[in-house]
Structure 1
């Protein structure tokens, strides 16, 4: 049962139609419906050669919170960082980690010691990139005084967690530069996905001399020093960023662009008009009321993405301190109706936490094997759980709930429909609140938000990435969730070498987490994008940041 194509998101009459729908759910497929397993590249355009003088014109939407690699732990910052900096490894066009700043590496027989040999390469200021820069950068990630939100990604390194949590010191972190070209990293336990982790911007090097001499080095174009395919030329805060080809980059011959111009236009309709009039070469989202039409016509493309869209419930803020009330909120929404009529991007209903896209050791997909942990649109059960939770707390009236999202037409539309679903299905009045991205992210990380939106893409290719986020006091745990049994199980997973056993333990951990239900999973996401016909070679990774290293603008 579906609504007409012309359904308008913000129309109150249409909202009533959506909320009247019941029984539209369907079983989730093992892969994202309607998506293709691609290399992430734009289809080849055989007409014309690459215009080496072209600037790729993109929309960043908003100001990046930080261009200091371990601090800018968000999709906006990472998009710029991935173009201007590079770590030991980089994902190739087939999404596999390949040597980058490291020319090669070896792994010990026990899988715990990695030895990297660096290339001859230079920073944008002319300094050589050294193994000492990497040692400094890795230990800087973990310095508790920096309180970087991405520090947990380095916990696989021996001594890392102890240093970051104040129980150790930098000298005990087993990262060592033996000379300018040789870096050794020792792990607590074998981790076959470690080189994939190293492609994440958190692990990009920083110029030791520059960082130590200027604490604000990453705040302006004039002071940023980078080592990637492009280098910073101009940054007008809250307006634009301009980067140009870095002729000192080791693989400069693979770069076919003169540079990239990013605008910061946080309005879907304006962005779309800029694309249609040729002012933008690519967009990564489209207006909601046009999405289905653009996808059906083939103008907008859909690709797979290992990520989840959900709302976090702060477990220390009433009413979400009560597990039954949390479960009621998770059960009381119609995800399929939301996908079909609001999101419209061939997403899959999220009835668990870990998305599709992570292969099991014996074959198959982690999500497919794990199955679902809740029912979609189970209104009667939701009402019973809400009543039970309120009785447990002694409430006759539910405490005020504020649903917070970062400013975006798409997030606003989803929040409005969820607001109406909760009112219709549970009789709950919810307040909506919009915050600018940088403020929203800061407040959420500080655990100040009661009920807040998130999109969590995988940082690396393993399900543990999603499970580790909710260990007690983890920096990614922005809702004060705590379960000692869960914490112990995640720690056991981290130190289990046998992959079959490790995956079994990860399924056990997800079950504990979903039984506690500290979030409202909504859908497993897809990438929706449009590229101009003469744009080629943009690589969209299902797990990882969009890469412009190989992008081309063809001569017309």
Structure 2
């Protein structure tokens, strides 16, 4: 099915920029949701980022620039932002207004909706109280002063706020459509766009198609007429489709070919602020015990895993927050914080496992199941970890894989014992990684709870002095790594392949794939 979806659909001209430029891409699974605050995952964001747009959009240099907002003013205390919207339209011709943003953001925060991305809005004054059911929507300091003016007041100065509102969770939604049809985001005809492209077709579990949005304010910058995303779960299948010119670019490369393709220059690798790790559910045996968790974190050889299995030039992760975030003095947060664990310290791992088992009264370790979402790349990593745990700790670990939507739902419901995650940054600040593990935070999928950690993260969000704030973030990471509710594996890089006739796709170190400036040139 995957091979037939896109066959013959390339309409590229033979010279110059294509007049009927068609870009054929892949995504690894069906998007869980194309409702902006609900589709809080990399697959959904990849689509949403190109068919919708927020107040700002990251440019080719990864900096937030005016998008739906043509300008803004920031108050002297750096807490109140007043955005002036440009003249722009939804794909049905209705104007995009400040009221759309107010409605969308308060909808994101509505506790009755339980959207997974709602926590991102907690930087707004009154938002956390409303989202937690302790406050009123009227106390949320987001207000459309008129059709073209949106005013937002934050609870404390937030230097990354303009970056934050470029993410899909903060995109506007068309109020009349949302209120008329509760299933509006399930199919292409009822999804209104305000971004570079309009979603025209969604064949569930097969493909999506978008076309250039003629109502987009910056339509002259958009050179692609049609984008086709083929849903391809298997990396090897996507690679074969790329080799046979059914795909113009792929975002993953078969693990066994990666080194050769990178060495030859056929594949490329760029930095990404992300971490690949396994979560340990602290309310499921045996991971309620800190020493057992530490044993699992120390007993693997990350260097070997990266060089021989993952093969993308990644860096072994010996902490939680990845590189890519600058401190006030210009140094990288990770450089300043350093490492918290040793790689492949088998002797220490055995000692900690024995200690933890004694503490719990175990003579035999309870069964451990590692769960990953279906993917050849995740499978080979899981198999390597399984072998390491057997060799280094004498522990038999069972492996299981689940389809992405099922996996994500079960992990969010905290039903998985030991499960895979890749966490790319939602915004350009280390706090993004630290806030996820507050007690009962929706991003905390392992039941981790530490009152000292919670208090510290809360203090960080209320600290205006950047030097002090970064010091507090290092302290929070130290506490977190001492408790070790996860097994960090590696800090990420984006490895991809694209045809020579494709230019202008922007892949942000923090952010999503941008197709706005993509072009198809002479083949």
Which deviations, in whole Å up to 9, do the C-alpha atoms of 1:471-502 show, x marking residues without a partner? 00000000000000000000000000000000
Higher relative contact order, chain-length normalized (CA < 8 Å, sep 6+): 1
Between the aligned partners of 2:248 and 2:65, the Cα distance in structure 1 is: 28
Which deviations, in whole Å up to 9, do the C-alpha atoms of 1:77-108 show, x marking residues without a partner? 00000010000000000000000000100100
Question: 1:158 matched to which residue of 2?
Answer: 125
Between the aligned partners of 1:521 and 1:293, the Cα distance in structure 2 is: 26
The alignment covers a number of residue pairs equal to 510
State the secondary structure of the residue aligned to 1:155. Answer: helix
Question: 2:8 matched to which residue of 1?
Answer: none
Which deviations, in whole Å up to 9, do the C-alpha atoms of 1:377-431 show, x marking residues without a partner? 0000000100000000001010100000000001000000100100010010111
Question: 2:273 matched to which residue of 1?
Answer: 306
Question: 1:437 matched to which residue of 2?
Answer: 404
1:176 to 143, 165, 168: 143
2:264 to 297, 305, 316: 297
Between the aligned partners of 1:153 and 1:379, the Cα distance in structure 2 is: 39
Question: 2:459 matched to which residue of 1?
Answer: 492
Question: 1:268 matched to which residue of 2?
Answer: 235
Question: 2:428 matched to which residue of 1?
Answer: 461
Gaps of at least 5 residues in structure 1 are 1-46
Between the aligned partners of 2:353 and 2:81, the Cα distance in structure 1 is: 51
Question: 1:545 matched to which residue of 2?
Answer: 512
Between the aligned partners of 2:21 and 2:15, the Cα distance in structure 1 is: 13
Between the aligned partners of 2:451 and 2:226, the Cα distance in structure 1 is: 49
Between the aligned partners of 1:211 and 1:104, the Cα distance in structure 2 is: 27
2:75 to 102, 108, 114: 108
Between the aligned partners of 1:52 and 1:413, the Cα distance in structure 2 is: 42
Question: 1:414 matched to which residue of 2?
Answer: 381
2:168 to 201, 204, 218: 201
Deviation at 1:52, TM superposition (A): 3.3
Gaps of at least 5 residues in structure 2 are 1-13
TM-score normalised over the length of structure 2: 0.97
Deviation at 1:48, TM superposition (A): 5.3
Instruction: Confirm whether residue 390 of structure 1 aligns to residue 353 of structure 2.
Output: no
Question: 1:145 matched to which residue of 2?
Answer: 112
Instruction: Confirm whether residue 366 of structure 1 aligns to residue 359 of structure 2.
Output: no
Deviation at 1:49, TM superposition (A): 2.6
Question: 2:35 matched to which residue of 1?
Answer: 68
Between the aligned partners of 1:399 and 1:169, the Cα distance in structure 2 is: 46
Deviation at 1:247, TM superposition (A): 0.1
Between the aligned partners of 1:327 and 1:400, the Cα distance in structure 2 is: 17
1:472 to 439, 455, 473: 439
Between the aligned partners of 1:316 and 1:273, the Cα distance in structure 2 is: 43
Question: 1:28 matched to which residue of 2?
Answer: none
Question: 2:486 matched to which residue of 1?
Answer: 519
State the secondary structure of the residue aligned to 2:259. Answer: helix
Between the aligned partners of 1:363 and 1:265, the Cα distance in structure 2 is: 41
Which deviations, in whole Å up to 9, do the C-alpha atoms of 1:192-247 show, x marking residues without a partner? 10000001100000001110111110000111111110001111000000000000
Question: 1:24 matched to which residue of 2?
Answer: none
Between the aligned partners of 1:265 and 1:374, the Cα distance in structure 2 is: 37
1:331 to 298, 310, 331: 298
Instruction: Confirm whether residue 247 of structure 1 aligns to residue 214 of structure 2.
Output: yes
Between the aligned partners of 1:175 and 1:502, the Cα distance in structure 2 is: 25
State the secondary structure of the residue aligned to 2:186. Answer: coil
Instruction: Confirm whether residue 118 of structure 1 aligns to residue 104 of structure 2.
Output: no
TM-score normalised over the length of structure 1: 0.91
Between the aligned partners of 1:262 and 1:310, the Cα distance in structure 2 is: 27
Instruction: Confirm whether residue 258 of structure 1 aligns to residue 213 of structure 2.
Output: no
State the secondary structure of the residue aligned to 2:199. Answer: strand
Between the aligned partners of 1:121 and 1:331, the Cα distance in structure 2 is: 53
1:424 to 391, 405, 408: 391
Between the aligned partners of 2:490 and 2:113, the Cα distance in structure 1 is: 34
Instruction: Confirm whether residue 98 of structure 1 aligns to residue 65 of structure 2.
Output: yes
Between the aligned partners of 1:378 and 1:154, the Cα distance in structure 2 is: 40
| Deviating more after overlay: 383-392 vs 47-56 | 47-56
